[in-house]
Amino acid sequence: MRMLYVAEPTPRAHETLRMLRSLNIDVQDMSPLRDVAAHLRGSGTVDALLCDIESNVNDICSSLKLQGIQLPVIVCGNNAPALLALDRIRNGASDYLNLGEVRQTTSGHAAEIEDDDHRLIATDDAMLRVLQTADRVAASDVTVLVSGESGTGKEQICRYLHRRSNRAGGKFVAVNCAAIPDTLIESELFGHEKGSFTGATAQRVGRFEEAAGGTLLLDEITEIDVRFQAKLLRVLQEKRFSRVGSNREMAMTARILATTNRSILEQVERGQFREDLYFRLNLITLIIPPLRKRPMDIIPLSEYFSAHYAAVNGLAAKGFSQAALSALRARNWRGNVRELENTIHRAVLLSDGPMIEACHVAGEEGEPRAASPAPTTMLREPGQPDQPRTMSDMERLLILDTLQHTGGNRTHAARMLGISIRSLRSKLKAYETA
């Protein structure tokens, strides 16, 4: 994960930046908040912004929103109080990175939850079958397409493949294709030469080059503009590419993995994804089941997350009451493992005693959300009688209902709907102009 450290250039901030890099956290640079937009335009995209836990997170998130920047904000601190971390998350931060814990790790790698095997804890047969197939193909260089709903752990399967491959000593580079503007995707993947376009003030190494000898993950590959897909196909076929603004070709030595939360065949039929690129990617496909279809994994994952976040926040280990376990099993988990992880993280911080109770893991309405068919309120607008609806009408009502459910949080809504934030914004804009 590439991060940009957002801070005023004080001696303390420079010291923090040096510490972050010494801990092998992939921080690209430091930028004052007022210069973030210009920094991103000049050097391409990053995956997240990192700021000190003492920062005013609400102001930072508001400023980014005003500038049209859609990036997660991660706060970092050195064993900061749990309540302070919770407050920053409530004010808009996506996560908290405990530098004290990272420093204690013996491997020297960032102790990000994504880099562990914990999300691949599997006791349910549905998930075990996926892992068996992954084990069979891990050692090869074959391209693997990983499909599944948002939050099921597609990226973790890709990291699992990388760690068990002959490339495990190389770098694992993940690119969120949905977060990159169409005008920057070629530069992001292939790199560019200085002066090759407006704003290219320096040479930039692209992700294919960065992942040489390792693994390159193209996350949400269906979000790549169809006009660029032909260039991507050529690179996958010929295993050679050139930086933007250069005629010199370089060998592509990275293994390619790709993920999608959509049906690529449907995208092909709509003309939004090239069929030849689909066949190039689709040699091996792993379909990750949603959490509701692997119920035996809910409690083991919950126990892991509880132990992990208790340790991260310097708290004593917490168990689960029988009522809490029943509530966890009853939830539909539309956000899958990601939603479960967030629920347990919050429960660990909010529970006062040694046990997590049912009220700590309840759904957003205050009660555990049981799996059930979609409510009829999603099928018609308030005050309207039952009547036939087109698929377009149904999609619109589902999107608006989900947005209402999330309190207007578009990122959360997009994850629950299984679409990218870019697609959600596009649909909402179309509804406004209709």
- Per-residue model confidence as pLDDT tens digits over 188-221: 899 888 877 776 777 788 899 999 999 999 999 9
Is residue 90 in a domain?
A: yes
The position carrying tokens 């973790």 is: 156
Kindly state the tokens that stand for 293.
């279809």
The residue from 111, 141, 162 where one domain ends is 111
Cβ atoms within 10 Å of 338's Cβ, excluding its own = 19
**What's 412's domain CATH number?**
1.10.10.60
Element (H, E) at 158: helix 154-163
Number of domains in the chain: 4
351 plus 389 within the same structural domain: no
Would you give the end-to-end CA distance of the chain in angstroms?
Answer: 38
- Per-residue model confidence as pLDDT tens digits over 21-40: 766 677 877 878 777 777 77
Element (H, E) at 28: strand 27-31
- Per-residue model confidence as pLDDT tens digits over 415-427: 667 677 777 877 8
**What's 84's domain CATH number?**
3.40.50.2300
Is residue 369 in a domain?
A: no
107-124: buried (b, 16+ CB within 10 Å) or exposed (e) per residue? eeebbebeeeebbbbbeb
Is residue 23 in a domain?
A: yes
Residue 429's pLDDT is: 76
- Residue ranges making up the domain that contains 20: 3-111
SS3 state of residue 409: coil
- Per-residue model confidence as pLDDT tens digits over 253-262: 999 999 999 8
- Per-residue model confidence as pLDDT tens digits over 363-415: 754 434 433 333 333 334 444 444 445 667 777 877 887 777 666 667 767 76
45 plus 123 within the same structural domain: no
Least confident among 81-90, 112-121, 373-382: 373-382
Residue 136's pLDDT is: 93
CB 304 within 8 A of CB 286: no
Kindly state the tokens that stand for 155.
């990226």
Tell me how far the alpha carbon of residue 293 is from its chain's centroid: 21
Nearest one of 25, 33, 41, 35 to 6, comparing CA atoms: 33
The residue from 251, 273, 289 where one domain ends is 289
Cβ atoms within 10 Å of 375's Cβ, excluding its own = 8
Residue 211's pLDDT is: 93
- Of the CA atoms within 13 Å of residue 423, those in its CB half-sphere come to 20
SS3 state of residue 197: coil
Q: How far is CA 16 from CA 13, 19, 29, 313, 365, in A?
A: 5, 5, 12, 20, 40
- Mark out the alpha helices in 226-274 (DSSP H runs): 226-238, 264-269
124 plus 260 within the same structural domain: yes
* pTM over the 0.95 mark: no
Q: Distance (Å, rounded) from C-alpha 188 to C-alpha 225? A: 14
Kindly state the tokens that stand for 157.
């399967």
CB 6 within 8 A of CB 33: yes
248 plus 346 within the same structural domain: no
Nearest one of 96, 94, 92 to 78, comparing CA atoms: 96
